[in-house]
């Protein structure tokens, strides 16, 4: 079994274009959706309006996967974050000193979701599935084969082909596709200050949701007798930390999940 972990960003979309050209021998792309209420809307729009029609046109398939509880119900990352009974926070919220906390979102809502699906399809330690990850040459530090589960064999086609992110953008453009937006949860604490400011200026509804989420998380932490945490590195509530002045200061989201399963 050969699949691609599709994140919806530039690198994994380049893999989609390469598969359409026959340059890689993968025809199934697995998109672990952390939730329509959690993924950035632009990523979901690109997926439904651009990537999936392109895949179908070229005999490829993009399959959406979601986290399923033991009782058969689904759970989104936002559900987990706003659960009043939850005692841990799966996203890397910022401590008062700005340092990120523990991150479990990638493992719980991406890696394990894909892994369970592969096992259900028959992947085993003896006969593992080949899982291609969209990491380009300029992000080689993110490649970490040791993170593969026993029933998976991780591949890095972009590294094998010696491709950088700029090459990926060119491949996408030559395939007649628009360049996809960066893929990440809209409330990801790894966003730079410039990216938060951009969200406040250009996506005020999403920014308001991020502000509400931060408040919900801290209301629960207060009940547990724990310190406040934050979505930005400034150690202050998001709506206080992110000013609307100087709109020219816009930064890229910083390092993607180092497993390669997210933001590619």
Whether the predicted pLDDT of 145 surpasses 80: no
Whether the predicted pLDDT of 263 surpasses 80: no
pLDDT of residue 64: 97
CA–CA separation, 247 vs 201, rounded Å?
8
Whether the predicted pLDDT of 136 surpasses 60: yes
**What average pLDDT score do residues 116-135 get?**
95
CA-to-CA dists, residue 32 to 27, 53, 133, 257, angstroms: 16, 18, 13, 14
**What average pLDDT score do residues 170-184 get?**
95
pLDDT bucket at 68, cuts 50 / 70 / 90: very high
CA–CA separation, 184 vs 263, rounded Å?
5
Determine the number of helices (DSSP H) and then strands (DSSP E) in the chain. Answer: 11, 5
Checking 63-68 for CB contacts under 8 A at 24+ apart, the result is 63/28, 63/29, 63/30, 63/31, 64/31, 64/33, 65/30, 65/31, 65/32, 65/33, 65/113, 65/114, 65/117, 66/32, 66/33, 66/35, 66/113, 67/32, 67/34, 67/108, 67/109, 67/112, 67/113, 68/116
Q: Taking the complete model, does pTM exceed 0.75, yes or no? A: yes
pLDDT of residue 251: 46
CATH number of 2-183: 3.40.50.620
Whether the predicted pLDDT of 255 surpasses 70: no
**What average pLDDT score do residues 118-136 get?**
95
Angle (nearest 5°) at CA 25 between 30 and 42:
35
Q: Lowest-pLDDT range, 83-97, 128-142, 155-169, 241-255?
A: 241-255
CA–CA separation, 42 vs 248, rounded Å?
21
Question: Coil, strand, or helix at residue 68?
Answer: strand
């Amino acid at each position: 079994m050969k699949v691609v972990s599709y994140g919806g960003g530039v690198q994994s979309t380049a893999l989609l274009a390469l598969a359409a050209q026959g340059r890689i021998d993968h025809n199934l792309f697995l998109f672990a959706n952390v939730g329509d209420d959690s993924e950035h809307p632009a990523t979901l729009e690109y997926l439904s309006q651009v990537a999936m029609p392109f895949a179908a046109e070229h005999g490829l398939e993009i399959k959406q996967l979601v986290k399923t509880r033991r009782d058969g119900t689904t759970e989104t990352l936002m559900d987990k974050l706003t659960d009043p009974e939850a005692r841990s926070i799966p996203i890397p919220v910022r401590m008062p000193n700005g340092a990120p906390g523990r991150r479990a979102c990638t493992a719980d809502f991406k890696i394990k979701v894909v892994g369970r699906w592969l096992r259900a399809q028959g992947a085993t330690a003896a006969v593992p599935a080949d899982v291609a990850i969209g990491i380009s040459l300029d992000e080689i530090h993110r490649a970490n084969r040791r993170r593969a589960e026993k029933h998976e064999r991780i591949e890095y086609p972009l590294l094998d082909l010696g491709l950088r992110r700029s090459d990926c953008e060119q491949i996408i453009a030559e395939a007649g596709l628009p360049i996809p937006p960066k893929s990440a949860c809209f409330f990801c604490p790894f966003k730079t200050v410039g990216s938060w400011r951009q969200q406040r200026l250009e996506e005020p509804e999403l920014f308001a949701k991020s502000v509400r989420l931060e408040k919900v998380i801290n209301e629960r932490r207060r009940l547990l007798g724990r310190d406040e945490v934050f979505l930005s590195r400034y150690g202050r509530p998001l709506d206080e930390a992110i000013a609307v002045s100087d709109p020219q200061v816009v930064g890229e989201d910083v390092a993607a999940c180092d497993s390669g399963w997210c933001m590619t």
